[in-house]
């Protein structure tokens, strides 16, 4: 478990992280999103004791990172893949870390095998490509078999096979009950990887909720419904409005619904005996939901990503004629 309480970091008059409080729970992959300059790296550095908070606290397993007796065994971190002595081989880099934490050489060989670097274990890290450096950084994070992993842009520089490997690895580690906290700018990959999302903008917490809920909050996440029973549609609209959903009539017997799931709409229609000709979910992507959520927090933004009318251009995930 990672716990943040009122976490704040100021550099002079600039507030990089502004009073963030949240719990990053074990057993799931938590994605960390935000525009450039949002405060993601600063937050991760404070969790790892590399930056001191101006106020508030960051705890791992209930303790400040700097007080951990065997930090490599308790928290594995990848913040900068190139923070390796270029003259050392991959194996010697890991051996040096292992010996300071009473970790066996056998474990070094295990993590080299896990990340796919066994064949180049004796090559100097300075000769590694960006993707190989990322793999070595992940091996370093895994070395102590820690219950908590913090990974900053772990797929940066990896080829498609490597990206998929990181996805499968992080999901497997979370399934084992570990806390996995990772950042990425690749929305499509985060949508496939994360169970839960934390989004910040200009240092402030914008969202802390499951992936599916964040996407469902997007104005582009729409349920389209058609029925020949106009009175029944009126009743359905009243029920949905009472539940804070937004309902729009688009034509004779057709409505668009935002703020309610397709299953909830279908259940309500069944309760009132409404006969349906169509119930279609037009799902937003994570990218669309993210851009909409962070629209006021982008330091260098363009209008092209927001020019599409809400409710159109999404993915038709389910279409059913009843």
Residue 204 reports pLDDT greater than 70 = yes
Name the CA dihedral angle for 220, 222, 226, 231, rounded to a multiple of 10 degrees.
Answer: -110
pLDDT band at 190 (very low <50, low <70, confident <90, very high): very high
Residue 23: domain span: 2-208
CA–CA separation, 43 and 33 (whole Å): 12
The domain boundary, picked from 208, 237, 260, lies at: 208
Q: What is the pLDDT of residue 156?
A: 84
What pLDDT sits at residue 313? 42
Distance CA 177, CA 26 (A): 6
CATH number of the CATH domain containing 66: 3.40.50.300
Q: Please say if the pLDDT value at position 297 is more than 80.
A: no
Structure tokens belonging to residue 278? 């169509």
Question: Do residues 138 and 118 both lie within one domain?
Answer: yes
The answer, yes or no, to whether residue 72 has pLDDT greater than 70, is yes
Instruction: Give the residue ranges of DSSP H helices in 143-201.
Output: 160-175, 187-193
Please compute the mean of the pLDDT values over residues 147-155 and round it to a whole number: 93
Residues 38 and 115 in one domain: yes
Position 213 confidence tier, pLDDT thresholds 50, 70, 90: confident
pTM summary value: 0.79
- Transcribe 49-81 into DSSP letters: TSS--SEEEEEETTB-GGG-SSHHHHEEEES-T
SS3 for 271? Answer: helix
Put the strands of the sheet holding 55-60 in their side by side order.
Answer: 14-24, 2-11, 55-60
> Are 168 and 55 part of one and the same domain?
yes
Same domain, 164 and 146: yes
Tell me the pLDDT tens digit for each residue of 80-109: 867 788 888 999 999 998 998 889 999 999
What pLDDT does residue 138 have?
93
Integer distance in angstroms from the first to the last C-alpha of the chain? 46
pLDDT in tens, 249-295: 988 889 999 888 888 999 999 999 999 999 998 877 888 888 888 88
**Total domains in the fold of the chain:** 2
């Amino acid at each position: 478990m990672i716990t943040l309480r009122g976490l704040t970091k100021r550099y002079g008059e600039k507030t990089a992280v502004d009073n963030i409080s949240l719990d990053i729970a074990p057993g799931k992959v938590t994605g960390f999103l935000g525009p450039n300059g949002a405060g993601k790296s600063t937050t991760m550095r404070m969790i790892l004791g590399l930056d001191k908070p101006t106020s508030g606290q960051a705890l791992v397993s209930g303790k400040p990172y700097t007080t951990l007796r065997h930090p490599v065994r308790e928290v594995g971190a990848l913040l900068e893949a190139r923070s390796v002595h270029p003259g050392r081989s991959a194996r010697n880099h890991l051996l040096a870390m292992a010996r300071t934490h009473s970790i066996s050489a056998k474990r070094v060989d295990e993590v080299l095998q896990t990340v796919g670097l066994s064949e180049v274990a004796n090559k100097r890290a300075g000769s590694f490509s960006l993707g190989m450096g990322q793999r070595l950084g992940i091996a370093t994070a895994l070395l102590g078999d820690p219950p908590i992993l913090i990974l900053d842009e772990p797929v940066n520089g990896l080829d498609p096979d490597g990206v998929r490997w990181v996805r499968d690895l992080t999901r497997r580690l979370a399934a084992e009950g570990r806390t996995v906290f990772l950042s990425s700018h690749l929305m499509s990959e985060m949508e496939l990887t994360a169970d839960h999302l934390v989004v910040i903008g200009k240092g402030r917490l914008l969202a802390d909720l499951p992936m599916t809920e964040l996407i469902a909050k997007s104005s582009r996440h729409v349920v389209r419904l058609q029925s020949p029973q106009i009175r029944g549609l009126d009743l359905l609209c009243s029920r949905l409005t009472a539940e804070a959903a937004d309902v729009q009539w688009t034509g004779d017997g057709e409505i668009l619904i935002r703020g309610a799931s397709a299953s909830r709409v279908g259940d309500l229609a069944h309760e009132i005996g409404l006969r349906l000709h169509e119930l279609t979910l037009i799902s937003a992507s994570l990218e669309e939901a993210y851009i909409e959520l962070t629209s006021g927090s982008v330091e260098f933004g363009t209008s092209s990503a927001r020019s599409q009318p809400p409710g159109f251009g999404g993915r038709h995930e389910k279409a059913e004629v009843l």
